[in-house]
């Protein structure tokens, strides 16, 4: 039971990293990326091949590129970087010409291209058999299963904290506001001179970096990875988690994954199998669909709507407090350089 909870926590933290990244892309920047899990997979593969060494540990039939033997923190950073660079390539191809729905379709097809490439080109990441015997990180080789799980959970929480910090800073900054403006109406954002393309590109790339980090942590945790691990379905489940949690709100993303992805993957064991084990997965997919419909019907902004975040809180410093803050506290209003705007008129 204790192990079960630890496992839930570790996987939950890793999934939350993905959700925070995807939420930056979809919730904040409004880019529908239906192949987010591809970047998770890229991170996982890079994390694996840069730590497995040469010859692979222990000597096996696996063939794959690099075969480096880097310390795991380096591999983790590298995984994030590679996912980010691939994300950059992808987004540069699609974003200039395409808008929301079309862009989403292209992300789906690019995801399939990557999947087919990895599955069929064996020298890259050992093809459909995938990579196994990925080394443990920290003292995982000798520690008990539950200790290792908790260690991974700790590392994942640190990474998650960094990701949440980044997304939170962006959310509160002028950059976040530009992203939301583009999401609401790109023409308006451009009409006020905002850099629409580069803003979205960087949000996308940052989201992909987070996917890569999560992927590497996942592969360090489960010690194996193959193409069955990143079917298109996974991206949709993550997307559903965000819609349910509250798109645009980073806490919503975290909650959405912990509650939704975790509970639903655990609920699988309680679903009836109708005499056919394969139906359980289908039952889960149906359940996800039902939950999604219910949430969209009754709470269209998700469990934690974006507006619950405090819009106007200006970071401390300067001793003034935010302008809106001082307003609500009833302090006299200061006027800066616009004395001509004196007269008040109410509609």
3-state SS class at 132 = strand
Element (H, E) at 131: strand 131-132
Specify the residue, 223 or 301, whose C-beta has the smaller distance to another protein: 301
Measured from the CB of residue 227, what is the shortest distance to another protein in angstroms? 32
* Count of beta carbons in the 10 Å neighbourhood of residue 46: 27
How far from 148 is each of 7, 56, 57, 61, CA to CA, in Å? 10, 22, 19, 27
Specify the residue, 114 or 182, whose C-beta has the smaller distance to another protein: 182
Specify the residue, 5 or 323, whose C-beta has the smaller distance to another protein: 323
Measured from the CB of residue 334, what is the shortest distance to another protein in angstroms? 6
Q: Which residues contact 284 (CB under 8 A, 6 or more apart)?
A: 264, 265, 267, 268, 271
How far from 16 is each of 159, 210, 245, 260, 261, CA to CA, in Å? 10, 10, 11, 11, 9
The C-alpha atoms of residue 273 and residue 270 are separated, in whole angstroms, by: 9
Output the six-digit token pair for 13: 């933290």
Summarize as ranges the residues that interact with another protein (CB under 8 A): 166, 169-170, 173-178, 180-181, 184-185, 187-196, 198-199, 202-203, 206, 306-307, 311-312, 314-315, 317-318, 320, 322-324, 327, 333-338, 340-341, 343-347
Q: Which residues contact 103 (CB under 8 A, 6 or more apart)?
A: 31, 32, 94, 95
Measured from the CB of residue 264, what is the shortest distance to another protein in angstroms? 28
Specify the residue, 150 or 203, whose C-beta has the smaller distance to another protein: 203
Specify the residue, 8 or 81, whose C-beta has the smaller distance to another protein: 81
Specify the residue, 1 or 347, whose C-beta has the smaller distance to another protein: 347
Measured from the CB of residue 111, what is the shortest distance to another protein in angstroms? 24
The C-alpha atoms of residue 313 and residue 340 are separated, in whole angstroms, by: 27
Measured from the CB of residue 190, what is the shortest distance to another protein in angstroms? 4
Measured from the CB of residue 108, what is the shortest distance to another protein in angstroms? 26
């Amino acid at each position: 039971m204790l192990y079960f909870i630890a496992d839930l926590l570790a996987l939950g933290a890793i999934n939350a990293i993905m959700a925070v990244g995807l939420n930056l892309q979809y919730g904040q920047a409004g880019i529908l990326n239906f192949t987010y899990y591809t970047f998770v997979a890229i991170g996982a593969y890079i994390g694996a091949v840069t730590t497995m060494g040469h010859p692979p540990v222990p000597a096996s039939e696996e063939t794959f590129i690099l075969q480096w033997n880097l310390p795991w923190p380096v591999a983790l950073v590298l995984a994030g970087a590679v996912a980010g660079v691939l994300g950059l390539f992808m987004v540069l191809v699609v974003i200039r010409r395409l808008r929301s729905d079309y862009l989403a379709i292209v992300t789906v097809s690019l995801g399939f291209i990557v999947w087919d490439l990895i599955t069929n080109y064996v020298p890259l990441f050992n093809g459909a058999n995938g990579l196994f015997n990925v080394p443990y990180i920290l003292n995982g080789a000798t520690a008990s299963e539950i200790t290792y799980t908790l260690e991974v959970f700790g590392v994942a929480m640190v990474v998650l904290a960094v990701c949440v910090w980044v997304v939170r800073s962006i959310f509160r900054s002028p950059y976040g506001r530009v992203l939301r403006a583009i999401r609401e109406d790109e023409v308006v954002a451009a009409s006020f001179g905002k850099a629409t393309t580069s803003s979205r590109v960087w949000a996308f790339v940052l989201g992909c970096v987070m996917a890569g980090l999560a992927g590497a942590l996942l592969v360090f945790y489960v010690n194996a990875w193959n193409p069955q691990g990143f079917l298109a379905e996974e991206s949709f489940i993550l997307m559903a988690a965000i819609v349910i949690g509250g798109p645009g709100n980073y806490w919503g993303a975290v909650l959405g994954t912990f509650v939704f992805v975790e509970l639903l993957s655990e609920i699988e064991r309680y679903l009836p199998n109708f005499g056919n084990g394969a139906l359980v997965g289908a039952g889960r997919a149906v359940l996800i669909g039902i939950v999604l419909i219910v949430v969209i019907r009754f709470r269209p902004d998700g469990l934690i709507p974006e507006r619950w975040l405090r819009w106007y809180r200006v970071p401390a410093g300067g001793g003034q407090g935010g302008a809106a803050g001082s307003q609500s506290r009833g302090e006299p209003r200061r006027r800066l350089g616009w004395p001509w705007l004196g007269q008040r008129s109410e509609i």
